[in-house]
Structure formats: structure tokens, C-alpha cells
Amino acid sequence: MRTVIRAVRQFRPALQRRGNFVNDGSLKGQDFWCNTNYRSIYNVASGADIFLCRHQSYRIYRTISTDAAKITTGELNGGGPLVEYERRITAGELLDGDACQLGTLGELQRLYEELVENAEACRLDRYTTSEKAGRSRWLWSRFIPQTSIAPVKGLYLYGGVGTGKTMLMDLFFDQLPGNWRKKRIHFHDFMLNVHSRLQKHKGVADPLEVVAGELSDEAILLCLDEFMVNDVADALILNRLFRHLFSNGAILVATSNRAPDNLYEGGLQRDLFLPFIATLKERCVVHEIGSSVDYRKMTSAEQGFYFVGRHLSTLLKQKFQQLIGDHVAVPQEVEVVMGRKLQVPLGANGCAYFPFEELCDRPLGAADYFGLFKNFHTLALEGVPIFGLSNRTAAYRFVTLIDVMYENRARLLCTAEGTPVELLDRIVTIADAQHLAPRTSSRSRKSDDSDICVDNELGFAKDRTISRLTEMNSREYLEQHAEMLAEKQQLHRHETALES
């Protein structure tokens, strides 16, 4: 395997640029300016700028030695994420990769091999483990205290935005045997599930122990994507929840933008959260992905629905109408967790239309957004503002909304007051704020306070949001969305045929 890893490191990147300008055909004869940082196209006609997110694309050409080539011919025994990664590179299914990703793959391959070797001890096979329900398991443990900490440590991957954390974890997860008790879920969704279960077990002496028993019965290997803590309710239960999970033998694989020591930094009652960080570092190998490349910005958008301008609501509604076709958009209501309802101003044919204020200026959260995208695959969002101190809460909700959309591969149409970078330019971390230019006579303290929002959680999240907004308007992302939609429609037709 070491020979393979050495061989895989022998690659030669080459950068190719695909064209400079994009015209969606609806604005012929107008002048465009291309921003070289984001390969973005702006319609510089007065009153309406259009951001079409046109990026340079990159291709990675790799030279593979004879030993590495054995992977694709089947001469090398075994499997795992590293082997699959190289197979996809060779087959042309993956076009990107770097030394930092290979280092991470080495960690994932090590974990994969340890899990395979210790599968029985870790009780990974779903068909050979106990089928006790969570509540009866909890009752039984009252009489005979049990602990079964896994002999294998998990893995906590962290790094900058767009470095491939999710792709690498998914690649690892997909290589695991199908009969294993495993689960891959977004951290937001995981915590919503936990809170829903806690509500169900209200009145039990220790509902967290019951919930941990249920979760570990269902999946002993938990793969949590985008691990981040910005909610005090989540922060206060994580330590006890994971102490129970690890005692039940759970193994955690997580991705995050933050190092463990920086989780929930500056949060309320953080001293109660610190034991969780110690537990996390004890039960997981912590690995940083140090790549400075944002692969989301390597996409090559041929089309997009991100429109910059204050007077483009008519254009947005026209695009929305094109997507719903002959269907009539009407107000709708969707159910979210714990019986709550979300009012949709206009909806039809899987597409929902919201003014920004209705979705991000009201007391809504991840649960509402997950409920929305279980019913709709496309969102038209009108009037996204520039974010700053005055609308910090709305910025938090917008970041969460984009995270949930990205997780569900949903399509976004929106009008905004600025490009993705401009929307969040006034959001800075404490460290960034300390390096801001000094005040001058024309830049007063009052002006600073009204423009700049110093917030560590938002400051760290903004790069991820910019990156995701960029990718969500790329041709590649929209093609993936179309494929996902086609698969769902085919499945629906198949189910309908079976019913009839």
C-alpha cells in the first residue's frame, strides 16, 4: 500500500481556462465585465447587474506508475477509499486531487483497514447484533451496567472550504460493506433527529441515554458532515450524548471547518462544552486537510440564476414561471419536525418562491429549511441583502439555509444586492477585525459600528457560504441537480406504476 501511496503522489497539475465570457442569451448586445478573481460576469447596463458565476476550470493530469496502475487491473488485493480514489482518477471520473487530499486518504484508508480487521469486535455487522430497542436496552442497563468502547478510534477531518472533505468522507463511506451498521448524515440533520427523539422520550430519567442507545443500535459508525456548533442547546447536550454513544461502542467520522479546540468558540456557557472537546480528541484521530485550493470554485458555469440588482424581481418571477411551466403557483403549507408548519408564499411543480424576509427575517431554523426541501427541489429567493451588524441574525439564517440547500442539492434562483463576496464582506472574525485599516476622519467609529459585524462563527462560515453559492450556480452543480431530479421522477413513476 505504501508503494501505491508513493505512486499516487506522482502527479502533474495543469491548469486550463475555458473561455472568458458567458451570455445567457437573454441580454444580447449589452456590455459585460469579467472579474478575474471569480470569473464572474456582470451586466454593466445601468440599474441591473447580473452575476452568472463563470469560473475558470482546472484539470489535473496525473502520471501513474506501474505499481499504481495495478489498482485498476485488479492485481492489488484489498479495497478501500484510497484504491477507489485512484480508480476514479484513472477512469476520468475524478479530475482533481492534491497532496493534502492524498494525506487525508491515507488516514481514511488506515481507518477502513482497522474497521475491517476489527469488524466483529466493533459489532459492525447489523445481522449479528442485538435487536433490543433503545428503551429496553436502557432498562436492562439499570440492572447490569454495560460499557463497550470500540477498539478503533474514529476520525475528525477539518480544513478550509472546498478542500474536498465531504467528497472524501463520502468516498470512504461508500466503500464500507452494506451489511454494516453505518449512517452518513449532515450534522444539522443529526441534531434535529436527536432533539426529536428527546421530545419523544420526555419524562424518562435520562432521555439522552435512551436516545444514544437508539442511535447506536441503528448505526455504530456515524459519519457526520459539517460538524459545527453554534447553538447553546446543542452545545449543552453534546458532551453527555457522545459520552453515552462512545460507551455504547459508537465510532465517529466527522468533517468540519473548525479544529476541535475552536468549536463553539465564544459561545454561551462554553465551559460546559469543553469536556466534549476533550472526549472528541480522545476518541478520534484529528487530521487537518491543509489544501489552499477551493475545488468548488473550479467549476465552469455555463448558466446560473444569481442576479445582482435591486430591481430584478420581474426577471426572477419570469425565470420562476419558466421552471414551473403550465403549473399554477399558489400558497402552500409544508410540515416540518415536531408538528410545526411552514407557510410557502408561492409553490408549484417542486419550486417555491419566497421574499428574503419571509425565510430569513422570521424565527426559522434548520428544521424548517429541511422540511422545505423535503417538499421542494428549487427555491426562488427575492431580495438577499448585504449583511452586517444590523441584520446579523438574518445572516445566520441565510448561512444555514445555504448549508441545507447544498446538502439537498437544491437549485437556487435569487436576486441579491451584491455578489456572494459582497454580501458577506462586512462579516469579520475577531482576528480579522484587529487587522482592519485604522480609522480616519472620513471613517468614524460610528460608521465602523454600523458597517462591520465582528462575529467569529459567522466569520468562519462566510467563506463556506461564498464557496457554496459559487458552486450552486455552476454548470456542474446544475447538471447534478437535473440528474437527481430525473432519478426522483423515474422512481415516482415506478412507484405509481406498481400501485396501479
The answer to whether 210 and 134 are in contact (CB under 8 A) is: yes
* Contact present, 414 and 316 (Cβ < 8 Å): yes
pLDDT, position 156: 97
Closest CA to 305 of 291, 317, 295: 317
Domains of the chain by range and CATH? 98-289 (3.40.50.300), 303-496 (no CATH)
pLDDT score for 110: 94
pLDDT at 103: 84
Query: Which residues, including other chains, have CB under 8 Å from residue 130's CB and lie 6 or more apart?
Result: 137, 217
Taking alpha carbons only, the member of 288, 284, 286 closest to residue 246 is 284
Place of cell 459489532: 123
Give CA separation, 380 vs 221, 352, 412, in Å. 37, 6, 6
Q: With contact defined as beta carbons under 8 Å apart, do 322 and 310 qualify?
A: no
How confident is the model at residue 344, as a pLDDT? 96
Dist CA 341 CA 318 (whole Å): 28
CA distance 266 to 223: 26
Q: How far is CA 212 from CA 163, 220, 237, 282, 366, in A?
A: 31, 10, 11, 19, 22
Residue type, 326: D
pLDDT digits (tens, 9 = 90+) for 221-238: 999 998 989 888 899 899
CA 34 to chain centre: 29
CB 234 within 8 A of CB 263: no
Distance CA 500, CA 495 (A): 9
Compute the distance between CA of residue 403 and CA of residue 399 in angstroms, rounded to an integer: 6
What is the spatial distance between Cα 485 and Cα 182, in angstroms, rounded to a whole number? 26
State residue 450's pLDDT score: 59
Rounded to an integer, what distance in angstroms lies between the CA atom of residue 251 and that of residue 149?
9
Please, where are the H alpha helices in 299-407? 313-324, 356-360, 366-375, 392-407
pLDDT digits (tens, 9 = 90+) for 256-301: 988 999 998 888 889 999 999 999 999 999 999 876 555 555 555 4
What nine digits make up the cell of 41? 460576469
Closest CA to 49 of 70, 62, 64, 30: 30
Helix/strand/coil for 308 = strand
Look at the pTM and tell me if it is higher than 0.85.
Answer: no
What pLDDT is attached to residue 85? 86
pLDDT for res 122: 94
Residue 227 neighbours by CB distance under 10 Å: 22
Q: In Å, how far from its chain's centre is CA 180? A: 24
Q: What is the pLDDT of residue 354?
A: 97
Per-residue pLDDT of the chain (500 residues; tens, 9 = 90+): 444 444 444 333 333 333 332 333 333 333 322 233 333 323 323 334 433 333 333 333 232 233 333 333 333 346 899 888 888 888 777 655 566 778 888 999 999 999 999 999 999 998 875 544 444 454 555 544 556 899 999 999 998 776 778 888 999 999 999 999 999 998 988 998 999 899 899 888 999 999 999 999 999 999 999 898 988 889 989 999 999 999 999 999 999 988 999 998 888 889 999 999 999 999 999 999 876 555 555 555 445 789 998 788 899 999 999 999 999 999 999 988 777 899 999 999 999 999 999 999 999 988 899 999 999 999 999 999 999 999 999 999 999 999 999 989 999 999 999 999 999 999 998 877 877 765 544 444 444 455 799 988 888 888 889 989 988 988 888 888 988 888 888 887 777 777 76
List, in sequence order, every beta strand (DSSP E) within 26-174: 32-35, 40-43, 49-51, 58-62, 154-159
N- to C-terminal Cα distance for the chain? 53
